[in-house]
Structure 1
Amino acid sequence: MSKSYKIMFGIFIAFLAGLVILESLEKEPVNWFESYINQDKIPFGSYVLFESLSQNKSTDITLVDVPPYEFLQDTVHQGTYFFLNNNVYFDKDELNTLLNWVSKGNNVFLSANSISKPTKDSLGLQTETLLSTKDMRQRPLLNLSNPKFKQDSAYDFGRTSYVSYFNEIDTLKTTILGYADYLNENRAIKENYVNFIKLPYGKGSLTLHLFPKAFTNYFMLMEDNISYTEHALAYLNTNDKIYWDRHYKSGQTFQTSLMYVLFSNKYFKWSYYLLLITGVLFVIFEGKRKQRAIKVITPLSNKTYDYTKTIAGLYLDKKDHKSIINKQVSLFMEYIRNELRLQTTTLNDNFYRQVSARSNNTFEDTKALFNFLKQMEATKHPKKEDVLNVNLHIQKFKLK
């Protein structure tokens, strides 16, 4: 790598390192997603609530990842089914299964902004979203109806959010547990919009709450709001077994790939990018195949011509013309076998036709050549001119 390349490479790596450091120092934005998942520590997760209940030695919590219709097929389950989500929509079959389970002496605690129409119809309820004409910020206020739990200054949610309330209930059967309103100058609930009720069903009961954010990390850790959550949970019998629903969750967890986990963490993500870019740069600048220079070796010279010239000279010096002619004929026959791919054991007219066809010579010229070679081989004392003449005929034949 040249010096200029090294400088460029160093600057680029320093730049990337700076980006990683700046990214790591940057404060991660708050995730305001309403997941309600018991493992989530984000503002609208339910980690604080779940841990608070789990620390109570008398509370036995079972996590349920399947819908109630499937879970309640096992009739041995007894206790309280706990639902917490933005929306909880049971269909008719699932609702009938759940209500049948409640009627046998079990309980349901459900907190959601919106519940399904079959649920409201079966329980004689109607809900509506509260609209504020005075303040568009719509900061919810919450309070409880029980004098022991009620607070003079309502619990302030602290952020803009909408509030749902029950605008129709069966007052003979329903117990009102809490109210909601929007923030005003006195921080007091002026209109009693019911958002928290309990109603009996068979041998059991259903507790319905229409502001699930009151059970999230954000609300419980804000000022003295945790007392609202604790008092609201007083209607949840923690001595019973609690079946914590994880099926009806806006942030329901799914199986994710390793790459998803990698990119969900900014530190892992930037480490991966840095490793990837460094690898690419290495391939560009250092990935070329390196080897020592190969020494140029001069190939051995072809001595065949010199050898042939020497042997021929010996024959000429001895005046052994017959042997030279025999060698010439033998080499020619080898040429026929190797180049023309013909056997030379039988020399007849059929052989001459094949040779003529493959060598582009006429049948007459071919036959005349072989007759001439036979004549030269039969000559007992050939002359120097005969040697030259044999070579001339053979070369003429090959050049056709």
Structure 2
Amino acid sequence: MSKKGWIYITIGVLTLAAIFVMEYNKPKKINWFPSYVSHHKIPYGTYVLNDLMEKYFPNKIQQIQKPPFEFLTRTDSIKGTYFFVNESVAFEEAELNALLDWVNQGNMLFVASRSFEKKLLDTLHLEQQNVYNDGTLEPLFYYELVNPKIKNQRVEFTKDYYTTSFDRLDTLRTTVLGQVYSPSDSTDTTTKHINSIKQPFGKGEIVLTSFPKAFTNYFILKDNNVEYTAGLLSYLGRNGQIYMDNFHKSGKSFYTSPMYLFLNTKEFKWAYYLVLIGGLIYIIFEGKRKQRAIPVVTPLKNQTLAFTRTIADMYFEKGELPLITKHKIDYFLEYIRSKLYVSTQNLEDETFLRNLSLRSNTDLKEVKALISMISKLKTKQYVTETELKNLNQKIQAFKANVDGK
């Protein structure tokens, strides 16, 4: 390789190295996926929530990995509060019925979700609506708990462009726990909406809040928002265990793919990329075949036709016309059997002649003439050249009819 070529390669390698260094030292991109998984430390995970629950409710927290229906129907002596938090908690019909029956026995259901099942809303005589920022382009909402016994200031949240609220409720049975305020225009005017409620159900209670992000790492650790989250958690039942649901989650509790370890860890990810790039460079520069050229072998010519012509000439020159005629007839009869699937045991049979005429697309008279000639020539000991030519012409005409020519 020329000196100029090596210079280009060196420049390319240094450029790639500089890109690798810049990418490696670039700040890791924040993952804003709303997973709500208990051990996730991303902004919208719930690691901090579960840590606080273990701290303030010692020996009362139980992590549940099963579906609620399976847990409630297959486990005995379940008393306390079932806690759900996710971007959307969608119960199946049998699952919801099992939960409501359980609450009716004197337990509590606590659900933090942006949207709720229609059947659950109908059961509690509730309706939901979406709330948007009408007067501002930036996402902005204010959240506040209404209980005067809870020390809580209005908290600001700027990560959602819309939220949900309860726009119809049974005022005789429903207790309002929290409200959300949204700016309505360019002034300081705000509109108020209910987003957290409590309602008795049988011997138990149901608490619903449409602001699940209040229980995420990002919200709890920001400013003094933890007081708002603590205010909501103060409504948890004091009797029995607190069952933290880990089934209805948007994120995965564990990853089965081994590639997750490589692509989620900076060092492993770049090691993986370097291996791929090194393999590509090897293929480009060193992956050429290093063996002698394979010589071209000329294939053998097909001498079958020349051999056949030579044998035919030998028979013809020696005057072996009867033998040639016999071979010609034998090959033709074999052609009838293999091509037209007609038996040639009885050439004089009328049924044979008609079948042969139909299958060969040949007039019955021509078929009879050809078969009659074959029968005569098979018994003759001497065959003239003219008879052999006539036989060959009739056979060729017969085959042409079979092929539709």
Residues 27-55 of structure 1 deviation map (CA, whole Å, 9 limit, x = unaligned): 22222211111222222111111111123
CA distance in 1: counterparts of 2:116 and 2:140, whole angstroms = 22
Cα-to-partner distance string for 1:123-154 (whole Å, 9 max, x where unaligned): 11111112343224341111111112254x51
Pick closer, same or farther for the CA change 1:146–1:57 going to 2, 3 Å: closer
Q: Structure 1's 272 and 13: CA in aligned 2 closer, same or farther, altered over 3 A?
A: farther
* Residue 98 (structure 1) aligns with: 99
SS state at 1:244 partner: strand
Residue of structure 1 in register with 2:143 after alignment:
142
Distance 1:195 1:4 in 2: 71
For residues 146 and 100 of structure 1, what CA distance do their matches in structure 2 show? 29
Q: Is contact 2:80-2:241 (8 Å) kept?
A: yes
Q: Equivalent residue of 1:87, what SS?
A: coil
Question: Helix, strand or coil for the counterpart of 1:88?
Answer: coil
For the residues of structure 2 that align with 1:208 and 1:32, how far apart are their CA atoms?
24
1:177 positional shift: 0.9
**SS of residue paired to 1:72:** helix
* C-alpha contact (below 8 Å) 2:133/2:162 kept by paired residues: no
Which AA in structure 2 matches 1:144?
L
The equivalent of 1:358 in structure 2 is none
Letter in structure 2 aligned against 1:242 = I
Partner of 2:70: 70
Q: Point out the more displaced range, 1-10 or 270-279.
A: 1-10
Q: Which 10-residue stretch deviates more, 267-276 or 77-86? A: 267-276
CA distance in structure 2 between the aligned counterparts of 1:285 and 1:130, rounded to whole angstroms: 61
1:3–1:244: structure 2 CA closer, same or farther, 3 Å change rule?
farther
**Cα distance in 1, alignment partners of residues 107 and 99 from structure 2:** 10
Cα distance in 2 for residues equivalent to 1:39 and 1:82? 16
Aligned pairs (5 A) from 1:265-304: 265-282=265-282
Shift of 1:245: 1.3
Q: CA RMSD in A?
A: 3.1
Deviates more, 1:24-33 or 1:263-272: 263-272
**Residues 154 and 187 of structure 1 are in contact (CA less than 8 Å); yes or no, is this contact kept in structure 2?**
no
How far the C-alpha of 1:238 sits from its partner, in A, is 6.0
Q: Does 1:133 align with 2:134?
A: yes
Change (3 A) 1:52 1:187: farther
Instruction: Sort the Cα spacing of 1:280 and 1:29 in 2 relative to 1 into closer, same or farther, 3 A.
Output: closer
Cα gap change, 1:286 to 1:252, in 2 (>3 Å): closer
Map 1:1-400 → 2, pairs under 5 A = 11-56=11-56, 58-76=58-76, 77-149=78-150, 151=152, 154-183=154-183, 191-237=191-237, 240-253=240-253, 255-282=255-282
Distance 1:275 1:138, change over 3 A: closer
Long gaps (5+) in structure 2 = 291-405
| 1:170 counterpart letter in structure 2 | D
CA deviation after TM superposition for structure 1 residue 267, in Å: 3.2
1:128 touches 1:165 (CA, 8 Å); kept in 2? yes
**Cα drift, residue 23 of structure 1:** 0.8
CA offsets 1:323-349 (integer angstroms, 9 cap, x no match)? xxxxxxxxxxxxxxxxxxxxxxxxxxx
Sequence identity (%):
41
Q: Which has the larger radius of gyration?
A: 1
1:150–1:180 distance in 2 versus 1, CA, 3 Å: farther
* Cα deviation digits, residues 168-201 of structure 1 (max 9, x gap): 2222222111111114799999544211111111
Question: CA, structure 1 residues 116+44, in 2 after alignment: closer, same or farther (shift >3 Å)?
Answer: same
CA change 1:165–1:283 in 2 (3 A) is closer
Question: For residues 192 and 288 of structure 2, what CA distance do their matches in structure 1 show?
Answer: 78
Give the whole-Å Cα distance in 2 for the aligned partners of 1:199 and 1:43: 31
- TM-score normalised to the size of structure 2? 0.64
- Equivalent pairs counted in the alignment come to 290
Q: 1:22 to 1:138 in 2, by over 3 A?
A: closer
Conservation of the 8 A alpha-carbon contact between 1:90 and 1:118: no
Q: For residues 150 and 58 of structure 1, what CA distance do their matches in structure 2 show?
A: 23
Deviation at 1:249? 1.4
| CA distance 1:169–1:213, shift in 2 (3 Å) | same
Within 1, Cα distance between the matches of 2:189 and 2:110? 24
Paired amino acid for 1:70: E
Give me the whole-angstrom Cα distance separating, in 1, the residues matched to 2:283 and 2:105.
Answer: 71
